[in-house]
Every structure is written in C-alpha cells, then in structure tokens.
Amino acid sequence: MNIKKIASAMPGIFSKVVDKNTWDNEYNSGRWDYLSAEQGENNNSVIAGIINRMPERSSVYDIGCGEGYLSKIIDDTNYTGIDLSEAAIKTAKEHNFNQSRFFACCADEFIKNVGSRKGFGVIVFNEILYYLSDPLKTIREYMKAFPGDTIIISMYNGIRPRLIWPRLNYHFDWSEEYTIKNKSHKWTIKTIRS
C-alpha cells in the first residue's frame, strides 16, 4: 500500500494536537521567540511575496498567526490573525501592525463564527496543519466558506509534514509550489484557489 492511500485513509494520525494551555505556556516562556529573529530568512518572506503580488485580494486570514509577524511584512491593512494562544495574540495586539485584527481561538471555531463570503482573499496556513486533528477537513471547510480565495500552505520538512503533504497532494492540484532553505530549515509552500 502506498503512502498516499495510507494518508488519505487516516485523517488525524499524522497530526499533533496541542491544547491552548500548552501554547500559552510556550509563548510565555519564550519558546517561540526565535521565530521573529529568523523572519527574514524563512518562509514568511516567500508567503509575503505571494500575498503582495495579488492586488485583487480583499483580505488576509492568517490561521495560526502566532504573534502576527506576517502582518508586519505584507502590504495590507485588511489582515486578520487567528491563534489558539491568548499569550501570542496579546503580543500581536500590543504591536498592532497595520491596524490588524487578532482573535484568540482555534481554526475550527473561527470558521464557524466568521460565516462565509465570496471574494478574493488569502487564507494562510503557516506551520499549523500538523497541529490540527484533520488538516484536510479544515482546508475544505475554509474553501467552502471562502470560495474564490487563494489558500497558502507552508510547512517545514519535518516528519509530520512529510506525511501530511501526500494526503493533500492526493486531493488538490496546486497553483504554485516553492521549496526554500536557510541554514537550518527547509520549507515547502503551495497555493491553491478555492
């Protein structure tokens, strides 16, 4: 049996669901501080480039935004960041990049409360899919709620992402694909139109 069939048959097996308290503790302890120091060298620059060359976009939803760094490097005032960690969202709000909006909630809760709309927005899943119980289901829910939007998915090449990508590849035809590297990491970034 090949990896695509295995990955397609077992939705949550390759994810590591982390609870809100763990995220808050990690942000409060400084566990994720290194991310802002590496921002110029990693995947966020490529994601910002993809977003900034889409003049027709109406909004950017950054799912799993952490402290909202992406909002600082994109040319957009209609940015909404969502993260499970209240500690990360508190820091993001303190910086208040570009009058952005930030909400502390999980990806599934946000999609249920925001409703749906048609438009040409961007939905970013940056380093979050491997923390969701069913990444494919979540992507499909966002595609249904936001038809016409571009979805950007970025994951470093760790064990869980290497198992998730085949499942996603089985279900989606990607518009764009990028692989980038810095001194210590390698990322895969792919886009799809919902």
Q: Where are the domains of the chain?
A: 3-193
- pLDDT of amino acid 167: 92
DSSP state string for 68-136? THHHHHSS-S-EEEEES-HHHHHHHHHH-GGG-EEEES-HHHHHHHH----S--EEEEES-GGGSS-HH
Please state, in angstroms and as integers, the Cα–Cα distance from residue 11 to each residue in 6, 14, 130, 133, 160, following that order.
Answer: 9, 8, 11, 7, 12
CATH 3.40.50.150 fits 3-193, yes or no: yes
pLDDT band at 72; cut points 50, 70, 90: confident
Give the chain's mean pLDDT.
Answer: 79
Tokens for 7, please give them.
């990955």
- pLDDT of amino acid 88: 86
Q: Are 4 and 166 in contact (CB under 8 A)?
A: yes
Nearest-angstrom CA–CA distance, 126 and 189 = 9
Longest dimension (CA), the chain: 50
| pLDDT score of 113 more than 80 | no
Among 13-22, 26-35, 108-117, name the most confident range: 108-117
- pLDDT of amino acid 173: 92
| pLDDT score of 107 more than 60 | yes
| pLDDT tens by residue, 153-184 | 999 888 888 889 999 999 999 999 999 887 77
| pLDDT tens by residue, 27-46 | 566 655 655 555 545 788 88
- pLDDT of amino acid 12: 44
| pLDDT score of 9 more than 50 | no
Among 8-12, 89-93, 94-98, 149-153, name the most confident range: 149-153
Question: How long is the chain?
Answer: 194
Mean pLDDT within 71-89 = 84
